[in-house]
Amino acid sequence: MEEAGVSSRAEAGRVGLGLRLRALRSDAGLTLAALSETSGVSVSHLSDIERARRLPALDVLDRVCRALGVQVVEVLAGVYPYGADRSPSRLRRPPDGRGALPG
């Protein structure tokens, strides 16, 4: 029974990650093709990640997050720490590339 619980938690994590990345991409007004060009990750790979068919390697997730202007830890934790508005549109990386500031 415990294996089923682990499997369902893993699936929920993949789905959550895909939904967060799709929301960030959509909020940034990017198509899969545009994000692919910016991140260097193929459209099909990005689509598979967003649909929870595939879990990205950390280096792939890092490239996608950089292209979206957010930090990996924020996406993995699902945390948007600034203000009451926790939507993806509120996060943007500052020019120095450190931390995240409201948009």
pLDDT in tens, 56-72: 999 999 999 999 999 99
Range list of H helices, 28-71? 32-39, 43-50, 58-68
The pLDDT tens digits of the residues spanning 8-50 come to 877 888 888 999 999 999 999 999 999 999 999 999 999 999 9
CATH of the domain at 46: 1.10.260.40
Task: Find how far residue 59's CA is from the centre of its chain.
Answer: 13
CB 15, CB 53: distance < 8 Å:
no
Q: What is the pTM of this model?
A: 0.70
CA distances from 12 to 55, 67, 77, 90, 94 (A): 11, 24, 13, 24, 31
The token pair that represents 28 in the structure block = 């940034």
Number of domains, the chain: 1
Identify the domain containing residue 46 by its residue range.
2-102
